[in-house]
Amino acid sequence: MDQITTALELLHAGFSVIPVGKGKVPARPWKEFTSRLPTEAELRGWYSQPAGIGVVCGSVSANLEVLDFDIHNWDETCQFIQRQFEETHSACVVNGVDSGPLDQVSIIRTPSGGAHVYYRCIEPPSGSLKLARHSGRLNPATGEFDGTPGYFIETRGEGGYVLSPGSADFCHPLGASNYQHVSGPRPHELVPAFTPQLRDIWLMVARWFGCEGLPYESPLDMTTEQPAQERAERPPQHCPSPGDVFNLSASWAQILEPHGFKNVGTEGEATRWKRPGTENPVSATTNHDGSNLFYAFSPNCHPFLEPGRGYSKFAVFAILNFGDASETAFREATKELVAQGYSREFGENIDISAIVDRFKGPTPQPPSKSFPFLTIADYLKQEDQVDYHISGVIAKGQPCLLAGPPKSLKTCLSIDAGYSMASGTPFLGLFDCPEPARVGIMTGEASRGKNQSILKAIIRSKGNDPCSTDSVPLFICHQLPVFSEESQLALMKKTIEELALDVLIIDPAYLCLGSLADHTANVSKMGNMLREIGEIAAETGCTPIINHHTNRKFEAGRSLSLEHLSGAGWAEWSRQWVLVNPRKDFDPETHQHSLWMVTGGSDGHAGKFAVDVRERDSSGAWSWNCEVRSFGEEVASYSESKQQKKEAAQKEKEESFSQNLREALNLRAEEGSTINELKQVFQDQGWAGRTKITTNLMSDFIDSGFVKVEQVTRGNNQTVNAYLSTETWSKQVVA
């Protein structure tokens, strides 16, 4: 992946990115980027040439904090990281703090053999902290410590930055290409998850590894004021707590079944559970992705078991049996476990490495001998063909947006697209659907009655009978999924698989946001939501088409692009799009919509079309009469129409002038009118064109037989030319 792609990936995930030069020093002033994200244009300018990718920590990057293990030995670093997770988890169990967010940690190996551990916090982190102090570094040549004190664990917080994988080599003395992701989600996949309580424990554990922690048996002891004699009398080794022992030895069935939960099957490593008193097939899972955690799908499982949050066996035991997630409940649960025999001695010989195995990153493997380059001849032989659901409009397998301002016919167009793909008939009567597809439409935008009327009109417009649709694989649901809920996304995926859908149309997006409705500008939250939808599409092979609207600043009739869409992340998520925008105001008398329709996608298809749709016939009944023209045809038609209007206006203007001239001549039919007298009449009557009245013009009218000229004498005895209308012209209406 090239640097600009990596940098944009981080930016789109809500990270502030800065260019870094030689020696890990920023290549430009960067403090402003501790309070704002750079623009794409700025990033493209910075990375038009090689540079390091600096990731700014703190609130600007959705509360990013990085734990920096400055240890120049990778094996030793791995041991410290394992202990970091191990001790944090144990302390969380004892204190009743959820350690599930430890899954949201990304581990990066640094060139020196240390590690950067990325995580995002619920609340903004503090500035950078020095945590674990050492009394000197080991000199490999002598095998002795140099006696120079310093810190080997620090944080990079508000106002700090770190170098990211993908940086140019010259940015680090040992080669910045040696920054390698080794474990956990990649940095751009992280979401704010560390609670203040978890972060406190996490930093306390890191501080315990330093000199200040030497007198203490465990990190928890550093927070107590106990006499040294009491600490000395403690056993020399830290043993697992009753909660640790319970997590390792108890089964989920032992915990859940006494409270009415039923095992309803497994999928992969996960077990599905159904709570008592519900008709829903699944209420929760355990061991999803090997996590050994409990995940509720609904708050109805228990008021203190939050949906989408992972809970250990001990936490679920405490909540179900002692009512809530308070410190009191966890202490009572601990007492109960001790009474049941889950004592520290019981767990003395248990291997608790399973708790942290999922956190420990693998030792990086050496790269393969080379990248898989192809010769140009072989490359050109391997042609990739783009397959379409709608030729030139919607490609298979690519997330699609059908977007536009309000009242731009998005719902009706999506219904036409859905029926066209399912029936194999042309979309809008023009764009071929190569083969029938299995299509689902989930809609909440219009009433069932209106949608039925529109669908029937569309079916009739294609020459088909609305009463003969049994063979058309089109499925319609007037219930929308909630994108912010894991259970709803799981249900959506299950529905796609059960119906074997090739395409799923969801209309509209804003009614599907759930708890994210107030966070549409949050790049991180929206990006994660859209990523999950994209993953469902990739896993099922289904093409999602989502109807979306423009932001409030967009003015209908202006040129429409993806940057005008409402909310963060949509433009980056969509790999293809159909953008609709009114060309003219809706005509309520004829029920005609006149639209621009712009299509495009990353596979290279693109087009701009003028679309006219009349929704009602002359009797007022629903209809679907469509006319589609290319942009070039519309421009040519517009130019021709404009010229015709111009010529008609000119003709009308000339006819009006001629009629006014005839009337002016008739006003002085007996004595005739001179040029100046005719001009005076035009001025008195307020008619246009008085400047056109000249001798040459009147000669043209004389030649045409409409006007005659005579010599007359005026009051000053001057002989002048006086013009009169001929008898024929004075009595006729000018054609």
CATH code of the domain containing 694: 1.10.10.10
pLDDT (tens digit per residue) in 606-636: 999 999 999 998 888 999 999 999 988 887 7
Q: What is the pLDDT of residues 15-32, one digit of tens each?
A: 999 999 988 888 888 889
SS (H, E, C) 652-691: HHHHHHHHHHHHHHHHCCCCCECHHHHHHHHHHHCCCCHH
User: Does the pLDDT of residue 356 top 90, yes or no?
Assistant: no
Strands 284-286 and 294-296, by their bridges, are antiparallel
Q: Which two tokens stand for residue 266?
A: 């497994």
Residues 8 and 94 in one domain: yes
Q: Report the length, in residues, of the chain.
A: 735
3-class secondary structure per residue, 598-610: EEEECCCCEEEEE
The 10 Å CB-count burial string (b at 16+, else e) for 653-677 is eeeebbebbbebbeebeeebbbbeb
Q: What pLDDT, on a 0 to 100 scale, did the predictor assign at position 51?
A: 92
Q: So what's the pLDDT on residue 149?
A: 65
| 346-350, 535-539, 545-549, 596-600: least confidently modelled range | 346-350
Give 199-243 pLDDT, tens digit per residue.
999 999 998 888 766 666 777 666 543 333 333 333 333 334 677
Do 186 and 327 share a structural domain?
A: no
Cα separation of 424 and 502, whole Å?
A: 13
- How many structural domains compose the chain? 4
Q: At what angle do helices 327-339 and 313-322 cross, to 10 degrees?
A: 100
Average pLDDT, the chain: 85
Beta-bridge mates of residue 565: 550
Domain identity same for 344 and 216: no
My answer on whether 454 and 553 are in the same domain is: yes
Q: Cβ–Cβ contacts within 10 Å for residue 391, how many?
A: 17
Q: Please indicate, yes or no, whether residues 220 and 248 belong to a single structural domain of this protein.
A: no
Range of the domain at 489: 388-616
pLDDT at 713 exceeding the cut of 60: yes
Classify residue 180: in a domain, yes or no: yes
What's the token pair of residue 622?
């629903």
Q: Which of 349, 374, 403 is the last residue of a domain?
A: 349
What would the pLDDT profile of 239-279 be if each residue is shown by its tens digit?
346 776 787 788 999 999 999 999 999 988 889 999 888 88
Per the confidence metrics, is the pTM higher than 0.75? Answer: no
Q: Mean pLDDT highest for which of 431-435, 601-605, 638-642? A: 431-435
Percent of the chain with pLDDT over 90: 48
Pairing of strands 115-120, 64-69: antiparallel
80 within domain boundaries? yes
pLDDT value of position 138: 60
CA 13/CA 668 separation, integer angstroms: 84
Q: Which residues, 6 or more positions from 515, have their beta carbon under 8 angstroms from its beta carbon?
A: 484, 485
Report residue 348's pLDDT band, with 50, 70 and 90 as the boundaries. Answer: very low
Same domain, 133 and 168: yes
Q: Whole-angstrom Cα distance, residue 259 to residue 294?
A: 14
- The whole-number average pLDDT for the span 400-428 is 95
Question: What's the confidence (pLDDT) of residue 378?
Answer: 81
For residue 673, tell me if it sits in a domain. yes
**Angstrom distance (rounded) from CA 442 to CA 451:** 12
For residues 566 and 447, membership in a common domain is answered with yes
Cβ atoms of residues 231 and 221 within 8 Å: yes
**Domain-located, residue 332:** yes
pLDDT of residue 233: 35
So what's the pLDDT on residue 693? Answer: 93
| Apex 162 CA angle, 156 and 168, nearest 5 | 175
Mean pLDDT of the 341-357 span: 43
| 396, amino acid identity | K
The answer to whether residue 352 scores a pLDDT higher than 60 is no
Q: Which of 225, 252, 286 is the last residue of a domain?
A: 225
Compute CA 142 distance to the chain's CA centroid, rounded to the nearest angstrom.
55
679 in the same domain as 539: no
Peptide bond into 508 cis (omega under 30): yes
Q: Which one is predicted more confidently, 377 or 505? A: 505
Same domain, 490 and 591: yes
H/E segment holding residue 571: helix 570-573
In Å, what is the CA distance from 6 to each residue of 13, 37, 367, 452?
11, 15, 19, 47
Instruction: Based on the fold, state whether residues 259 and 134 are members of the same structural domain.
Output: no
- In angstroms, the CA 546 to CA 600 distance is 15
Is residue 162 domain-resident? yes
Highest mean pLDDT among 100-104, 330-334, 362-366: 100-104
Residue 372 forms part of a structural domain: no
Say yes or no: 42 and 122 in one domain. yes
- Is residue 672 domain-resident? yes
At residue 223, the pLDDT reads 52
Q: Is residue 361's pLDDT more than 60?
A: no
Write out the two tokens for 15. 């990270």
Residue 545: what pLDDT?
98
pLDDT of 29-52, one tens digit each? 888 999 999 999 999 999 988 999
Higher pLDDT, 495 or 226: 495
Distances (CA, A) of 33 to 59, 191, 335, 524: 11, 20, 50, 17
Chosen domain end from 199, 225, 251: 225
Give the SS3 label for residue 393. Answer: coil
Same domain, 460 and 400: yes
Residue at 425 is within a domain: yes
Determine the average pLDDT of the residues in 568-589. Answer: 91
